[in-house]
Copies of this chain bind each other. A is one copy, B any other.
């Protein structure tokens, strides 16, 4: 009886998250705080002077986070059978293991266990340290922003794919032409089409670092035409995203009612 109650309570706190459940909100808040602390730690640990001075604190945060996230992971798998969808003890839990959120939770803890299981060189360890950054994805469970952006991308999928295709085509064509024009004058910077694409991206996104730019008259003329024409095309995905963003929030806030029958259109 006690065991069943605990499992049900775990499920309520971790998964269900009823708005009036104080403990659920406290646990949520604690985990969100821990995620932000982790991101901050990863960022600050990359500064050599801070890393050397506060090594102990960073190590403690890491150890503490691994414990909490591991416990959280185990409790989630244990209690998930409370949910109707995953109610079968074994097949239900397996199904949950391969769900989107569960995989993220696993990825948040697994890399930390690798050095315990095998000898790894220093570069791998640095990689593992960086992978911790993806604990930021654990926020997607709590944050509306991720869901919204996913919705926007999904609803504008076709437009985005088409404009991305157009952008890449333009990039390839512009870079190839520029390679042909500038290669002789600047054999270093415009050494090949892939190399020239670095110029193409910097120009067409209007970043313009200034490390590569055409120097011949023809090259400058082509670059000018491409900048004027191409900038519009590269701004397309941004415009589409902005529109999609607006649509998604609008459709949530507004009650669209049919003028003829008075019923809600979206239902």
* Least CB separation from A233: chain B residue: B241
The answer to whether A43 touches B265, judged by C-beta atoms less than 8 angstroms apart, is no
The answer to whether A209 touches B210, judged by C-beta atoms less than 8 angstroms apart, is yes
Q: List 29 A-B contacts (CB under 8 A).
A: A46-B179, A47-B191, A133-B176, A144-B162, A145-B163, A164-B228, A167-B228, A197-B224, A198-B220, A198-B224, A202-B207, A202-B208, A205-B206, A205-B231, A206-B207, A207-B231, A231-B234, A232-B240, A235-B239, A238-B239, A238-B242, A239-B241, A239-B242, A258-B261, A259-B265, A259-B267, A260-B263, A261-B263, A265-B265
**Looking at the complex, which one of B133, B144, B201, B210 makes contact with A228 (CB distance below 8 Å)?**
B201
- Spell out A's residues near B (CB within 8 Å): 39, 42-44, 46-48, 126-127, 130, 133, 136, 143-145, 148-149, 158-159, 162-167, 169, 172-173, 176-177, 179-180, 191-195, 197-198, 201-203, 205-211, 213, 220, 223-224, 227-229, 231-243, 245-246, 249, 253, 258-261, 263, 265, 267
Q: Which residues of B contact A245 (CB under 8 A)?
A: 159, 163, 236, 239-240
How close is A172's CB to chain B, nearest CB, in angstroms? 6
The answer to whether A246 touches B243, judged by C-beta atoms less than 8 angstroms apart, is yes
Q: How far is the CA of A52 from the CA of B249 in the complex (A)?
A: 55
The answer to whether A213 touches B205, judged by C-beta atoms less than 8 angstroms apart, is no
Q: How far is the CA of A159 from the CA of B224 in the complex (A)?
A: 21
Q: How far is the CA of A46 from the CA of B213 in the complex (A)?
A: 19
Q: How far is the CA of A123 from the CA of B244 in the complex (A)?
A: 48
Q: How far is the CA of A233 from the CA of B153 in the complex (A)?
A: 11
**Looking at the complex, which one of B39, B172, B234, B237 makes contact with A133 (CB distance below 8 Å)?**
B172
Q: How far is the CA of A48 from the CA of B136 in the complex (A)?
A: 42
Q: How far is the CA of A251 from the CA of B261 in the complex (A)?
A: 20
The answer to whether B48 touches A192, judged by C-beta atoms less than 8 angstroms apart, is yes
With most chain B CB atoms within 10 A of its CB, the pick from A47, A197, A228, A243 is A228
**Looking at the complex, which one of B210, B240, B246 makes contact with A208 (CB distance below 8 Å)?**
B210
Q: How far is the CA of A113 from the CA of B241 in the complex (A)?
A: 45
Q: How far is the CA of A207 from the CA of B207 in the complex (A)?
A: 6
The answer to whether B232 touches A238, judged by C-beta atoms less than 8 angstroms apart, is yes
Q: Which residues of B contact A179 (CB under 8 A)?
A: 46
How close is A33's CB to chain B, nearest CB, in angstroms? 16
Q: Which residues of B contact A148 (CB under 8 A)?
A: 162
The answer to whether A43 touches B172, judged by C-beta atoms less than 8 angstroms apart, is yes
How close is A112's CB to chain B, nearest CB, in angstroms? 17
The answer to whether A145 touches B173, judged by C-beta atoms less than 8 angstroms apart, is no
Q: How far is the CA of A260 from the CA of B192 in the complex (A)?
A: 58
